[in-house]
Amino acid sequence: MRKNFLVFTCLLIAGYASVSTADAQDPINIVTTAVPFLRISPDARSGGMGDAGIALSPDANSGFWDLAKTPFATNSDAIGLTYTPWLKDIAQDVYLATLSGYHKLDEDQAFSASLRYFNLGQIQFTDAQGTPLNTSRPREFAFDVGYSRKISSTLGVGVALRYINSSLAKGAVTEGVTYKAGTTVAADLSVYGNNTANDGSGLTWGIALSNLGGKIGYTDNALSKDFIPANLGGGLAYTWVFQEDNKFTLSLDVNKLLVPAVPAYNPDDTSGFQQHLDDYHSQSVFSSWFKSFSSQTYSGSLGAEYTYLNQFSLRAGYYKETKEMGNRSYFTAGVGLSYNIFTFNFSYLAPSGSGITRNPLSNTLRFGILFNLSPQDNQ
């Protein structure tokens, strides 16, 4: 299916280009990165809880949030699959699909792996006058492997290595510029604390450093490479158990994007702006993590989950981010159903905002399935 270049432009606005928005009183320079698909919630359970997931109980999708949770899982093996439509209001073949899983070696350590695949459909490129140039099928994926272990009965740590491939365009899409797939590698570091009782009641917490890696570029120009979405996240969750069969969990996540802001464009000083832009691109990745704290790129997620007999769950949540992150806010809802070794999760994001502040997942139903294998107490 051929689409107008407008679709691709919407995707760029969602994260592939540096966007500055302003009003008369308060100009805001939104901080954006390459490969922003790494920031899309890949889990339908957390998707129903305002995208809170760092401190939730472990499952097959733990590697997307906090890998250190995995040794605390009650199953020795689990596999998860999630399908997420993207920009559903204007495109039908854009989606994110994820596959994840882990294997516990024993009570204290586990290996995990996951794959994220982002398909952007078929794009018709045009020039400034609207003349068709050629078509492309942009797509991106990230594959990672991880190891986690308990260092005490209440504390776990995890590390993961990730390969990232982003193919947005190939060949001479625009005159004088030849594009290629961008690749890089990154790492995650995480800590998880589990202070729950045998019935699951109590406090859990987590801290995760995600996507700590090199820049990524789509041409041979070293100064055109962009930062990937390195992130520092922290989460708390508390679970109440009442009448044995009922559980209620409240979860809170706070995230800080570890990427500095692109210099704001000044039409009165184009030469100075270009120098600032060159200085921005020449920053080392390590120094950029610390410089990122000069920008207010924070987001918060608040989620609630009620579970009955460990078989039926109702979820709700709220997400809010600062203006420098894009100024999005939205409510979510979700349902979970478990039967035998299967768990089915559904989540829905209520519409909010307009233009570039409208979430691409608005009016979207996400679906996930978990295969929970080999209960640990049967090993």
pLDDT of residue 13: 38
For residues 84-105, average pLDDT: 85
For residues 109-133, average pLDDT: 83
Confidence of residue 49 (pLDDT cuts 50, 70, 90): very high
Which architecture does CATH list for 5-378?
Beta Barrel (2.40)
Q: What secondary structure does DSSP assign to 117-186, as a single string?
A: EEE---EEEE-TT--EEEEE--EEEEEEEEEEEESSSSEEEEEEEEEEEEES--EEEETTEEE--EEEEE
pLDDT of residue 191: 98
Confidence of residue 122 (pLDDT cuts 50, 70, 90): confident
pLDDT of residue 314: 98
Q: Each residue of 1-24: pLDDT tens digit?
A: 334 333 443 444 344 333 333 333
pLDDT reading at 375 higher than 90: no
Rama region for 92: left / alpha / beta (φ>0; ψ in -120 to 50; rest) = alpha
- Report yes or no: 274 and 228 within 8 Å, Cβ to Cβ: no
SS3 letters for 86-98? CCCCCCCCCEEEE
Task: State pTM to two decimals.
Answer: 0.86
Q: Each residue of 142-184: pLDDT tens digit?
A: 999 999 999 999 999 999 999 999 998 776 665 667 788 999 9
Please give the residue that has the higher pLDDT: either 290 or 109: 109
Q: Each residue of 32-46: pLDDT tens digit?
A: 899 999 998 889 999
Confidence of residue 354 (pLDDT cuts 50, 70, 90): low
For residues 64-80, average pLDDT: 96
Query: Rounded to the nearest 5°, which phi and psi values hold at 47?
Result: -60, -25
Please give the residue that has the higher pLDDT: either 273 or 8: 273
Q: Each residue of 210-259: pLDDT tens digit?
A: 999 999 998 877 667 899 999 999 999 999 999 889 999 999 999 999 99
Query: 158-162, 198-202, 282-286 — which one is most confidently predicted on average?
Result: 158-162
